[in-house]
Amino acid sequence: MKGDKFYFSLDRITCPDLYRASDGVHKVFLDIEKKSKLNPLHPIYLFLEKRCLKRASKIIAISQMVKDNIVNTYEIDHNKISVIYPGIELKEINYKKSIDKLSQEFSLTKDCQIILYVGSGFKRKGVKEFLQIISKLDNIHNIKAFVIGKEKNMSYYQNLAKELCVGKQVIFTGPREDVGDFFTISDIFLFPTHYEPFGNVVLEAMNLSNVVFTTKQCGASELLDSECIMRSPDDISVIQKINNLLSNSDKLEMIKEKNRFKSTQFSIENNAAETLKIIDEIIN
């Protein structure tokens, strides 16, 4: 603390008392994305990141993965880092309302099975791999896959879907205000990201009763059973796992309900309470 002032930062600054590392570790991001370090902003980010992590009295990591990245990259004492998973607004499910609305817009048949992707920045978050996985699924003509999010190279992914012969099965919606309706009607949320410090979309999908598959490079994978965690974005073992679930409605429903129950532990209120405990420790 600086005098009677307490500095709690959600961004990289040089003198925080408490820093919440919500953006992960920039140095790790650069290595994974193979970004050019010639960009003059990157050295500035790296300088601020190191200074911030070294000087903070306490650090909140939004996943164990982020904590490990901080310790291994900057040799920070693991004892001053606490893992507090993000919280979300827990929602009620109104399947009939959502399916009636979206069936009308997208001409969905009653028996079609729905796989969902949500996120902007398609390259890092694995839309190419998403499309490749969709193209290899059994009974593809009974599947609708929605890709929701903003992307400046949208035409590349639309053309890739056509090249993979899933142009009719995959619907690119762009950004949507009603994402909750898509989570509500979908069976499986597939998120083959290359790097995601946490990924609130995973929690949101769980809360609205989706089976979730994501990579171990996603912090929120720590909330999932091991069979739902991909080794990498191009882990093809997920194809058979999805096929098996789509042909076994009892198991599909069981995992969906298990995920919904698990998500209730991660409310905004619980996140705030855990954060306040850390603040109290520093002040007192």
Nearest to 65 by CA among 216, 201, 214: 216
Same domain assignment for residues 151 and 173? yes
Same domain assignment for residues 253 and 124? yes
Q: What are phi and psi of 49, to 5 degrees?
A: -60, -50
Per-residue pLDDT of the chain (284 residues; tens, 9 = 90+): 566 789 999 999 988 999 999 999 999 989 887 766 678 888 899 999 999 999 999 999 999 999 999 999 999 999 999 999 999 999 999 999 999 999 999 999 988 999 999 999 999 999 999 999 999 999 999 999 999 999 999 999 999 999 999 999 999 999 999 999 999 999 999 999 999 999 999 999 999 999 999 999 999 999 999 999 999 999 999 999 999 999 999 999 999 999 999 999 999 999 999 999 999 999 98
Same domain assignment for residues 172 and 69? no
Same domain assignment for residues 127 and 255? yes
Residue 159 domain-assigned (yes or no): yes
* pLDDT at residue 1, as a whole number: 59
- Rounded distance between C-alpha atoms, residue 21 and residue 23, angstroms: 6
Neighbours of 135 (CB within 10 A): 18
Same domain assignment for residues 247 and 175? yes
What per-residue string of b and e applies to 21-54 under the rule 16 or more CB within 10 Å gives b? bebbbbbbbbeeeeeeeeeeebeebbeebbebbe
Please name the residue that has the structure tokens 């699924």.
137
* pLDDT at residue 41, as a whole number: 87
Same domain assignment for residues 259 and 276? no
- Rounded distance between C-alpha atoms, residue 246 and residue 114, angstroms: 10
Residue 30 domain-assigned (yes or no): yes
* pLDDT at residue 3, as a whole number: 67
Q: How far is CA 252 from the centre of its chain?
A: 21
Same domain assignment for residues 220 and 272? no
Which structural domain range is residue 141 located in? 95-263
Straight-line distance from the first to the last Cα atom of the chain, in angstroms, rounded to the nearest whole number: 11
Same domain assignment for residues 206 and 274? no
Nearest to 268 by CA among 188, 225, 204: 204
**Count of structural domains, the chain:** 2
* CATH number of the domain bearing residue 254: 3.40.50.2000
Same domain assignment for residues 161 and 30? no
Nearest to 200 by CA among 214, 187, 181: 214
Same domain assignment for residues 225 and 108? yes
